[in-house]
Each structure stands twice: as C-alpha cells, then as structure tokens.
Amino acid sequence: MPKLARWYIKTGIIYLVFALLMGVGMEFPDLSKMSPFWVNLFPTFYHALAVGWITQLIFGVAFWMFPRNSKEDPRGSEIVGWITYICINAGLILRIIFEPFNTDSHWHTLIVSALIISAVLQWLGGVLFAANTWNRVKSRKKRRKKRA
C-alpha cells in the first residue's frame, strides 16, 4: 500500500473516532441545550464523518487500488495527491475549529476568513482528486487501445 493511501486511511480512522466522540459529547444532557455553539456543532459533526472519514477512506483506497495509468506513471501525480490530502485536511480542521463559533461577534473577521479559506481548500481538494483520478478510470478496452 503506498504511503499516501496509508495516510488517507489512518487520518480517516482518526476522524471517525473523533466524530464518534463528538457525537457522544453532543448527547450529554447538560451540553445539548440548543445554544448556538451546539447547534453549529451538527454540521461539523456530519462533515467530520462524511469528509473526514468516508471521503478520505475512498480517496485512500482509490489511490491505492484503482487501475494503474502505466508502468512509468502508475498512480497519477503523487505531488497532486499530497496537495489534495493537505487541502482536504487543512480545510476540514479549519472548519472544525471555527464553525462552532460562527455566531461569535467578537472574533467575527477571523472566523469568516477561516471559514472562507476552509471552503476554498476543501473545494480544491475535491477538484484535484477528481482531476488526478480521472485518467486512471479507464475500461480494459481503452487500455488495450492505448497500448496498441
């Protein structure tokens, strides 16, 4: 298994554990009063699961197991793969830190800037993954044609 796939999968597992613990925390009777902070935790919780866990697990397994491009270039650009990993995780961590405080007027500018950067980074991660994976998703017929 290549190093990047291991990083994706292990990071995904960390997010899964984090999201599960977060879910337990959100159910504590004293904590789950519907204050803006706790209401804002719901999308953070779901994104930790959907992007942090499921999406990263898919990215890791796809990078590892999808058909290879060629002997010289088996898995597309590894640099783009690492940039994707950094974008997704930096974006998600910014979201997890700042989204629950979105209603705080004291740090408004900082929170807004962090969430905009988070949105752009996660979007970039998704686009880069799709672009880097696109050429590896090829039918056997097309591969044969390319070799011939």
Partner 1 sequence: MPELSEKVIRISLIYLVIGFTLGAILLINKATNVDPQIWILLPIHIEIVIFGWLIQLIMGVAYWSFPRFFEMPNRGNPHYNWLMIIILNVGIWTSISGDLFLSAKFLPMVGRCLETIGIIGFFMLIWQRTRSPQRHHQ
Binding site for partner 1 (CB under 8 A): 50, 54, 58, 67, 95, 99, 102, 111-112, 115-116, 118-120, 122-123, 125-127, 129-130, 133-134, 137-142
Q: Which is nearer to partner 1, 10 or 142 (CB)?
A: 142
Residue 70, classed as helix, strand or coil, is coil
- Work out the angle between the directed axes of helices 3-26 and 78-98 (0-180°, nearest 10): 10
Shortest distance in whole angstroms from residue 103 CB to partner 1: 11
Q: 40 burial class (0-12, 13-18, 19+ CB within 10 angstroms)?
A: middle
Q: Smaller CB distance to partner 1: residue 21 or 74? A: 74
- In the complex, least distance from residue 116 CB atom to partner 1, rounded to whole angstroms: 5
Least distance in angstroms from the C-beta of 123 to partner 1: 4
CB of 140 to partner 1, least distance (A): 6
Look up tokens 């999308």; give the residue: 43
∠ CA 102-91-69 to the nearest 5 degrees? 155
Q: How far is the CB of 139 from partner 1 (least distance, A)?
A: 4
| Residue that the structure tokens 């910014």 belong to | 94
Is the Cβ of residue 21 or residue 86 nearer to partner 1 in the bound state?
A: 86
Q: 28 or 107, CB closer to partner 1?
A: 107
Choose between 11 and 132: whose C-beta lies nearer to partner 1.
Answer: 132
Q: Rounded to whole angstroms, what are the CA distances from 60 to 36, 64, 114? A: 35, 6, 26
Q: Which residues contact 23 (CB under 8 A, 6 or more apart)?
A: 45
